[in-house]
A and B are shown apart, each in its own frame.
Chain A
Amino acid sequence: MKRSDAKPARRVSSRVHAVDRAAELVITGGGFLVLAAVLGICLYLAYVVVPLFSSGSHGEAATGEAAHAGTEMVLDPYGHAYAIIDDNAQITAGLTSDGSPIGMFDAEGEAIERALDPSEPAVTAFSIIRNGEYVAVGRADGSVRLGSIRFEAKAVAVEGEHEIGDVWTAGGAVYEATRPGRARRSELIVELGDPVTIKDGDGPIERLDYRVDSTGRTMLLAGRSDGTVGVSSVRTIRPLGGGKARTRLRSTSFRPERGLSDWMFVTAEGDSVLLLSRDGTLERYARGDDGFAFAERLPLLVDGRTVSDAGMLLGSKSLLVGDSEGTISSWSVAQFDASGASDVGIVRTHRFDAVDGAILDMSPSTRDRSVAVLGAGGDVRVRHATSEKTVVGYQTEIDRPIVVRFFPKNDALMVLGQDGAYSVRSMEPGYPEFSVKALFGKVHYEGQADASFVYQSSAGEDAAEIKLSLMPLIFGTLKATVFAMLFAVPVGVLAAIYTSEFLSHRVRRVVKPGVEMMASLPSVVLGFIAAMVVAPYVRDWLPQVLIGLVTVPVGVLIGAHVWQLVPITFRRRMGTGRHLLLVLGACALGVLGAVALGPAFERLLFAAPDAEAGGVVDMRRWLNGEYGAAWPGWFAVLVIPSSLAALFVNNAFLRARVDAFAEKTTVFGGGVIVLVRFVALLLLTLAVAALVASGLSAMGFDPRDSILGTFSPRNTLVVAMIMGFAVIPIIYTISDDALQAVPNTLRSASLGAGATQWQTAIRIVLPVAASGIFSACMIGFGRAVGETMIVLMATGNTPETSWNIFGGFRTLAANIAVELPEAPKGETHYRVLFLCGFVLFVMTFVINTTAEIVRQVVRARNAGL
């Protein structure tokens, strides 16, 4: 064996050395790794979240000359071409100018002809949605053909030698070799139904708008040259035994006052028609009982701008208007009030500068609410219409660009030039719905009267927009926590004071672990109890529970005052354990009082005046705002602040005088005087509360809009009680430790100077331990912020933003628990949920660090005591 030639006093076998070295290596490395892993959590969450904040990216341009070079593409009245692209970006298709043929070309620019019947009347208008999945073609004879012009790709076997990736054209289709002997064949499928005639009106179809919502309901708007506008719901009937599908239209027609406008749109539900003129005037015709009638007219643009392009966003709820200065605005039909259809009107939801110079073309995406914009200077921008985020932006190299189009999968953009040149750029949209503003600011969503905080993560259909504001969740988290702390802090801290200062050691040894045991109760158990036991109880006994929150402490206080009347010799003989039993009795009296007073309380305050609701007594209906005045609510809310005010009055003016007066009489007499003072203060409290309450309600404030409101069975009150219960032990234990850490010399000095035990506890011990108690509360707060199961089980998990104590909410934690199991990996929703986790992490980290720092600073300060 080799030996170390360092110089130890005795020879040490190298094995010992090696083991020692290995242990050091393992423990140091392992320890560091464990700690790094723990810290890595934060980094990993950030790693998942960070991509959300980046914008999209785009690749290099591939340019070429399209087949229709030389021929002109068919343009709508504003020079916008019909153009669609297949999934693999190998074919694009367009209508060309002589009316009917549909030309298509592959990536090499080779034309493949697929013609409609040239004998048919010329195409005069078209409408195309979802990249050609639904197409309407209007003709000179006033007929419309509905159908689809789309691409189909399938894998086929091919003969001959082809390198993988080879692309060639044969028989009107494009092939790309994928594997030896296999290729993907992409071809254009044209399926147009028989012409259907629009009954009303005369002349060629000049405007067409086709809408299909996610349920397959289709609406067709057709404007004819004589100024008639027909709005039809389309029904396609497929005979059971196969055969040709027939299309039926059910039309309603009307004549707009100012004739056909430049752009005409019908909403997906078919209840509004929007007419937009080039000068920016928007008219809305709404469907009534007898056809469409003029509803409103408003100018969309100011200072001489004109409309350059307009289109409907995905979901057909928002109208996008691009103007001659490069600004895009979106407009949506919103309901101002849920009560009636009369309050429907057009509101502007967004407005942002998209490009410099006029907008040449806009193309809404078929996947999300993004829009690709082509500016006169050749600027190409992709903006998300709701988050206003710039997803991608670049300058195109095409000379006279006229068209910009998304590829169907939103993974590339194509720009077409007037002369047939085209350029294609791949793009990675990133997370367009997401922006810091959308997360934390108020956002104006389509269909809503104004901007708001909304969280609605799942958009099952096109019409529903993903709404990702985190504010309702953060609000819910704070709401739950604040109410829970209102319950937990007084109980926890007071209990700790009693345990530390007044309880004998023997009892304390049992009581403290008992309360600590509370901390180990699984939160799922508490949640179950909250939802299954407490919630029904609170629902059925609401007035009793509410009044119990007052009567129990009052009962205890009355008990204390009565105890003063008991002869002191008898009092001295009581141990603390038995003393606790007495307090328990007082609590029980308080509960009994609550049960007895509850109905009276409800009748007194929350009964309906006879005239309004037939003398109903039901607090929950009062809360729903069905009847009754505002003042009882204020009264109930104000009892607590006014009791604090009474306490202040007592401390500032009454206490010293009454005490001085009481000392002059016998012990018993003094007790009576103090009791009288207490009752007087109680009455004062109630009187002040009632006075202020009636004052407030006279001024027209109603608490039912803010902290009181509609009662839902699983509500904040229940959560506050049970979550408070969950954090009490933490607050209790740490507070108790802080109180215990106060040196006994201070207590002895205070007691020796003649202070009572209570005075010592409040004036000496509590201030010294205050910071420890503060940090206890902070840690309790941190715990409540992240509590998941109780909230999940005991609330309805509705992301609302009101302080209503009888309403629900959704916290960050519960939101994660509800939604993450279903969120697909890597998508926006998944990352937003990680962001929720990250926010939670940061919140608790800040809270806990604050608590820890306070504790350490104070420990250093108190070291001198």
Chain B
Amino acid sequence: MVWLTGGALVACLVMIVGLVSMIVINGMRTYWPGPIELVTMDSGEVFLGIPTDADEENARTLYRTGNRDLGREPFRWVDLADVASVERPEDAILLERETWSIWLGVPEQAIEIDASGERVVVAQGSGEVMDYIAANHGAARARRAEIERLKKHELGGIHGRIEAQRLRVRQAELALERVGAERAVMPGAVFALVIVGMVACAIAGRTLGARASYTSRWPRLARVGLYALAGAGAMAVFLHGPWKSAGMTEAKLAVMRADAAEIEADLDVQYEELLAEVRSMEAVDARQRLVVVEPTEGRFAPVRQIEPDEPILLSQIVRVVDPNRMGLGAKLGVYGSRWGEFLTAPPRAANTEGGVLPVIVGTVMLTLLLTITVTPLGVIAALYLREYAKQGVITSVIRIAVNNLAGVPSIVYGVFGLGFFCYTVGRYVDAGPVQSMRLPPVWWWGTVGICLLTLLGSFACAVWSKPIPGTDPSRKQVFLRRVATIGWFVTFFLAVLLIARTPFFSGFFEARAADGSPTFGGRGMLWASLTLALLTLPVVIVSTEEAIAAVPNSMREGSYGCGASKWQTLRRIVLPGALPGILTGSILAMARGAGEVAPLMLVGAVKVNLDLPMSTEAPFLHLDRSFMHLGFHIYDLGFQSPDSQAARPLVWTTTLLLLAIVLSLNLVAVVIRAKLRARLSGPTV
């Protein structure tokens, strides 16, 4: 029976080792350039293919034949029994193209088209063509990259500015429509009165000063009340001040429209100029052509599938590989360059080729944002639970709840994130509260008043519930403390209500929302990272709490003994001592967040979005954008791809990458934890 238990352990270990090594092997071998074989079938059919898989049981081989433009399947199972001969021609090459996947063939000519449209053969035969490619390919690619940059950044930028003008006008139109329902403006006298009152309140509050003591509680209450009144006054001035009369009018709108039209006309001219430049560059680009012939039908790689008589542009080719002639060094070079492309280039051909740069950027940014959000929140919650809250039934219930939340399925967080962050909070940011939710201003100000009263009330209860140091609280004080707690909650919910139903806010991106294209009201980076932060919060709370608890009490007492305040003790003694634990928690949260996919499917990860969430255009961080994510990319490539077989290699490499990131993060966490344990088990202070 001992053996059976051992067998179970061995099974675990075998499974994990097998799984990881399978991913590593498959991921690593993907980019190794395989030989190109010229297969002659018994039927006389001839084709070029790269053997990619063998099925020994049925004696057949899977060839990747590429050349999808010819309307053939890019992969083909070949029964070895039907094969007449297999050879590896020296001059067979593999073209990795920007579109339509790979092309296998033999290079015959390099052509340049001169100014009169004549085709001039500049290189003939395999060797010469390869030399021509070596000499010109880099320049051609650079030119193409420049064209792409112009198209995307310059032309796209102009487009964006035109759109911005349109949105500005739309915004003004919306403002005009609202003008009828616009709030009343304060009469001058009232305005002056409010200003004076506000200043008076502030000064009075200041004068009352911080005479905080256990005997003089009234001044403290009065001071808070005065400050709150001053704040309310400031809000009133801001929301109803005289400048609010300068609302939108027809005349202003007309000026704005004319303005926008002028700018747009300007931009149109610029657009045309740029376009002409792009066109001329494209014309130059179209001159260099390659004729690469495949043996089955004798066709060459076309520039586009619909133009089979035009040979492919040199610049359309990403990489030329001639594996049958290459030595080990050259193969290593290709291998390295493919990995380089994988890590630094955006995807092409419906994600099935090219790199995963936007995916990496998306994942990294998401993980960083989530860590930045979750660490302070988790630490604050843990500090509260461990250092401030009174240990009792409530804290242990909260602890059970937090532990439970670690076990709540991630998809549930996704559902919450979608409903709450994207659709509720995001919508609010975009367009303010829904019309029917808005309170009439009178009601709203009434609620502000009630909110002030509850604030004062709970503050008073809190002040009067504090016992004199060194004495036990009386029953009255305990009662007051409870009332204060309830009061704080009521105040908080009133404040939330005030924000949620304010009639004074119409959103930051009203125009776009009115067009039906939400900015923050849809799925995006910000909401995804917040959702994941919520998801990983229990991890950080639990590990921080453990770390704080592990800081010996003697150190705290020493600190207090030296006269440090509670915060000083926390900041100088407890937090540094707990730092490794906090770090472990954050890293574990990062690892969990990086590997999580299910909630992201709901709150922001998308198939393709080449607009990175980070760019050189203001505002640099585009947290409203949806993003690509490694985990989702794997799912997408493996299951939603139009050509899943061609995407298979990329799935393996992406998986390897994700695994490497997650496992190394975990490893770091394990190491830090080990160090922490070693330190704590060593001699303590």
By a beta-carbon cutoff of 8 Å, the part of chain A in contact with chain B is 2, 4-6, 9-10, 12, 14, 16-20, 23-24, 26-28, 30-32, 34-35, 37-39, 41, 44-45, 48, 490-495, 497-499, 501-503, 511, 513-515, 517-518, 520-525, 527-529, 531-533, 552-553, 556-557, 559-560, 563, 579-580, 583-584, 586-587, 725, 728-729, 732, 757-758, 762, 779, 782-783, 785-789, 792-793, 813, 816-817, 820-821, 825, 833-834, 837, 840-841, 844-845, 847-849, 852
Across the interface, which residues of B come within 8 angstroms of A12, CB to CB?
563, 565
- Give the shortest distance, in Å, between B324 (CB) and chain A (any CB): 30
- Give the shortest distance, in Å, between B622 (CB) and chain A (any CB): 21
Which A residue sits closest to B385, measured CB to CB?
A31
Which B residue sits closest to A588, measured CB to CB?
B14
With A498-B5, A553-B4 in contact, is A34–B377 under 8 Å at CB? yes
A587 touches B7 (CB 8 A): yes
Report which of B1, B381, B595, B666 forms a contact with A34, defined as CB distance below 8 A: B381
A813 touches B598 (CB 8 A): yes
Across the interface, which residues of B come within 8 angstroms of A848, CB to CB?
403-404, 407
With A525-B634, A584-B14 in contact, is A556–B662 under 8 Å at CB? no
Report which of A5, A41, A495, A525 forms a contact with B416, defined as CB distance below 8 A: A41
B147 at the interface (CB under 8 A from A): no
Nearest 4 interchain pairs by C-beta: A786-B409, A31-B384, A522-B595, A560-B3
B210 at the interface (CB under 8 A from A): yes
Report which of B389, B404, B658, B663 forms a contact with A31, defined as CB distance below 8 A: B389
A587 touches B635 (CB 8 A): no
B602 touches A817 (CB 8 A): yes
Across the interface, which residues of B come within 8 angstroms of A493, CB to CB?
8
B8 touches A16 (CB 8 A): no
* Extra A-B contacts (19), CB below 8 Å, given A525-B23, A848-B403: A19-B565, A27-B384, A30-B377, A31-B384, A492-B12, A498-B8, A514-B13, A517-B666, A518-B15, A521-B595, A522-B596, A524-B595, A587-B14, A729-B12, A788-B597, A792-B598, A816-B414, A817-B602, A852-B404
- Give the shortest distance, in Å, between A46 (CB) and chain B (any CB): 11
The complex places the Cα of A740 from the Cα of B383 at a distance, in Å, of 29
Across the interface, which residues of A come within 8 angstroms of B572, CB to CB?
none
10 contacts between A and B (CB under 8 A): A6-B469, A511-B9, A523-B595, A524-B658, A525-B659, A529-B19, A560-B4, A580-B6, A789-B635, A820-B414
The complex places the Cα of A813 from the Cα of B596 at a distance, in Å, of 14
A515 touches B13 (CB 8 A): yes
Contacting residues of chain B (378-424) with chain A, CB-CB under 8 angstroms: 378, 380-385, 387-389, 398, 400-405, 407-416, 418-420, 423
A531 touches B1 (CB 8 A): no
B601 touches A518 (CB 8 A): no
A584 touches B10 (CB 8 A): yes
B22 at the interface (CB under 8 A from A): yes
B565 touches A17 (CB 8 A): yes
B651 touches A34 (CB 8 A): no
B404 touches A491 (CB 8 A): no
The complex places the Cα of A37 from the Cα of B601 at a distance, in Å, of 22
With A511-B13, A786-B412 in contact, is A586–B3 under 8 Å at CB? yes
- Give the shortest distance, in Å, between B656 (CB) and chain A (any CB): 9
Across the interface, which residues of A come within 8 angstroms of B212, CB to CB?
4
A849 touches B400 (CB 8 A): yes
B567 touches A24 (CB 8 A): yes
Interface size counted on chain B using CB atoms at 8 A: 91
B415 touches A528 (CB 8 A): no
With A20-B566, A520-B666, A556-B4 in contact, is A39–B418 under 8 Å at CB? no
- Give the shortest distance, in Å, between B397 (CB) and chain A (any CB): 10
Across the interface, which residues of B come within 8 angstroms of A19, CB to CB?
565, 567
Across the interface, which residues of A come within 8 angstroms of B15, CB to CB?
518, 725
Which residue, of B12, B14, B568, B635, has the highest number of chain A Cβ atoms within 10 A?
B12
Across the interface, which residues of B come within 8 angstroms of A847, CB to CB?
407
Which B residue sits closest to A762, measured CB to CB?
B1
Across the interface, which residues of A come within 8 angstroms of B418, CB to CB?
820
The complex places the Cα of A518 from the Cα of B20 at a distance, in Å, of 10
A521 touches B19 (CB 8 A): yes
B595 touches A786 (CB 8 A): no
The complex places the Cα of A521 from the Cα of B17 at a distance, in Å, of 12
The complex places the Cα of A444 from the Cα of B430 at a distance, in Å, of 44
Which B residue sits closest to A498, measured CB to CB?
B5
Across the interface, which residues of B come within 8 angstroms of A511, CB to CB?
9, 13
B3 touches A559 (CB 8 A): yes
Which A residue sits closest to B651, measured CB to CB?
A528
The complex places the Cα of A271 from the Cα of B565 at a distance, in Å, of 87
Across the interface, which residues of A come within 8 angstroms of B570, CB to CB?
23
The complex places the Cα of A261 from the Cα of B366 at a distance, in Å, of 69
Which B residue sits closest to A584, measured CB to CB?
B10
Which B residue sits closest to A820, measured CB to CB?
B602
B48 at the interface (CB under 8 A from A): no
The complex places the Cα of A757 from the Cα of B5 at a distance, in Å, of 13
Which residue, of B6, B11, B423, has the highest number of chain A Cβ atoms within 10 A?
B6
A528 touches B638 (CB 8 A): yes
The complex places the Cα of A757 from the Cα of B2 at a distance, in Å, of 9
B238 at the interface (CB under 8 A from A): no
Which A residue sits closest to B2, measured CB to CB?
A758
A788 touches B385 (CB 8 A): no
B36 at the interface (CB under 8 A from A): no
Which residue, of B408, B413, B563, B592, has the highest number of chain A Cβ atoms within 10 A?
B408
B381 touches A31 (CB 8 A): yes
Which B residue sits closest to A179, measured CB to CB?
B177
The complex places the Cα of A370 from the Cα of B374 at a distance, in Å, of 48
B209 at the interface (CB under 8 A from A): yes
- Give the shortest distance, in Å, between A264 (CB) and chain B (any CB): 46
A494 touches B9 (CB 8 A): yes
The complex places the Cα of A502 from the Cα of B9 at a distance, in Å, of 11
The complex places the Cα of A395 from the Cα of B442 at a distance, in Å, of 38
B431 at the interface (CB under 8 A from A): no
With A529-B22, A837-B412 in contact, is A34–B380 under 8 Å at CB? yes
The complex places the Cα of A587 from the Cα of B9 at a distance, in Å, of 11
Across the interface, which residues of A come within 8 angstroms of B12, CB to CB?
491-492, 495, 515, 518, 728-729, 732
- Give the shortest distance, in Å, between B485 (CB) and chain A (any CB): 9
B213 at the interface (CB under 8 A from A): yes
Across the interface, which residues of B come within 8 angstroms of A584, CB to CB?
10, 14
The complex places the Cα of A106 from the Cα of B632 at a distance, in Å, of 56
The complex places the Cα of A16 from the Cα of B563 at a distance, in Å, of 11
The complex places the Cα of A847 from the Cα of B415 at a distance, in Å, of 20
The complex places the Cα of A521 from the Cα of B567 at a distance, in Å, of 39
Across the interface, which residues of A come within 8 angstroms of B670, CB to CB?
513
Across the interface, which residues of B come within 8 angstroms of A34, CB to CB?
377-378, 380-381, 384, 537
A498 touches B2 (CB 8 A): yes
Across the interface, which residues of A come within 8 angstroms of B566, CB to CB?
20, 23-24
B639 at the interface (CB under 8 A from A): yes
A31 touches B2 (CB 8 A): no
Which residue, of A514, A521, A821, A847, has the highest number of chain B Cβ atoms within 10 A?
A521
Which residue, of A518, A757, A762, has the highest number of chain B Cβ atoms within 10 A?
A518
A44 touches B419 (CB 8 A): yes
Across the interface, which residues of A come within 8 angstroms of B3, CB to CB?
556-557, 559-560, 563, 583, 586
The complex places the Cα of A687 from the Cα of B9 at a distance, in Å, of 30
Across the interface, which residues of B come within 8 angstroms of A532, CB to CB?
638, 648, 651
B67 at the interface (CB under 8 A from A): no
B402 touches A579 (CB 8 A): no
Across the interface, which residues of B come within 8 angstroms of A556, CB to CB?
3-4, 6-7
With A17-B565, A782-B407, A817-B602 in contact, is A586–B7 under 8 Å at CB? yes
The complex places the Cα of A9 from the Cα of B38 at a distance, in Å, of 94
B196 at the interface (CB under 8 A from A): no
The complex places the Cα of A514 from the Cα of B663 at a distance, in Å, of 11
B631 at the interface (CB under 8 A from A): yes
With A494-B5, A817-B598 in contact, is A35–B568 under 8 Å at CB? no
B534 touches A37 (CB 8 A): yes
Which A residue sits closest to B384, measured CB to CB?
A31
The complex places the Cα of A841 from the Cα of B419 at a distance, in Å, of 15
B214 at the interface (CB under 8 A from A): yes
